[in-house]
Amino acid sequence: MIRTLGIGDNVCDKYLHISTIYPGGNALNVAVFSAMHGARAAYLGTFGDDLVGKHVYQAALEIGLDLSHCRFAHGENGCARVQLVNGDRVFLTGNKGGISREKPPVLTGMDEEYISGFDLVHTSVYSFLEPQLPVIRRAARFLSMDFSNRMDDGYFRACCPYIDCAEISCGDMEESKIRAAMEKIMIYGCKHIVIATRGSKGAFVMVDGDFYEQSPLLVKARDTMGAGDAFIASFLTNYLDGIADAVDFGTGSGKKGITTAAEYKDCLIRLSLCRAAVFSSAQCQRDGSFGYGKQVELTEEDRRVMKKESV
């Protein structure tokens, strides 16, 4: 099984209506979900020294992630305020990444050597590591980056040349616009894969120019937090774990079953997409990104935001 490193953001999602915090954050989520698939997983990022940061760190430790290269700093950990509306998460004003934004890890030679030991390295638009993408690229075998819903050309141009896989969140965007964005990402330098998650509409995936569509496994959602991250982690973990077996059988081997690398790759992509749909569907039945909820006292700022912004 592969080794996965999430590098960048971690947060707590604070559910104001139940006064509960849940660990999360795109980079941390992908590491956790990859671990759930059997990967040896790690996380590299900055934790704050407040109650929120301590809770996220402890949860990641209990799950079994390697946190040996993490940083710790005085200040607020990333914290996003959340409200649930019919099972779908609605984000209210948070602290914009907290200490992860203020003090993202500055990568050293020791970090580069560490990063080079992973098969999948994943970061995100919320990780504030754009200036260090060249360093990560130099060390990483396969680098994935989640752009969320940020799709401006300048940002694509700056980031895409360093990555092997890009993810975008498309929601209700028209298919033609999604395809255009995916093609643009490849034109700007992304080397291998583009994943476009669409919530309850499923996903589009482009692998080396070949286009795939995956239907969702629809369920009545308890909480959609982390569902897109679950899809990404599941697809990439399954795909990267299996792609090394893609080979062309030699002359005289026969043509029964799968005998070419292209056939195998196509089957692997379709299987990985199906598994990702099933896994992300199950994610919608879980509270928070991956559980580990903790009751907390709401602050005055929490109450002010809830009063002003609640749907």
Q: Given this model, what pLDDT does residue 283 score? A: 93
Amino acid at 23: P
- Interatomic CA distance for residues 43 and 60, integer angstroms: 8
Using one digit for the tens of pLDDT, what is the confidence trace for 202-241?
Answer: 999 999 999 999 999 999 988 899 999 999 999 999 999 9
Order of strands, edge to edge, in the sheet holding 78-85? 88-91, 78-85, 11-15, 20-24, 294-295
Q: Which two tokens stand for residue 290?
A: 């991956």
CA atoms of 41 and 119, how far apart (whole Å)? 10
pLDDT tens across 120-144, in order? 999 999 999 999 999 999 999 999 9
Assigned CATH for 3-309: 3.40.1190.20
* 235 φ, ψ (degrees, to nearest 5): -60, -50
**Residues facing 72 on adjacent strands:** 47
Instruction: Quote the tokens at residue 64.
Output: 């079994």
The residue among 193 and 82 whose pLDDT is bigger is: 193
Separation of alpha carbons 67 and 118, rounded Å: 14
Mean pLDDT to the nearest integer, 191-202:
97
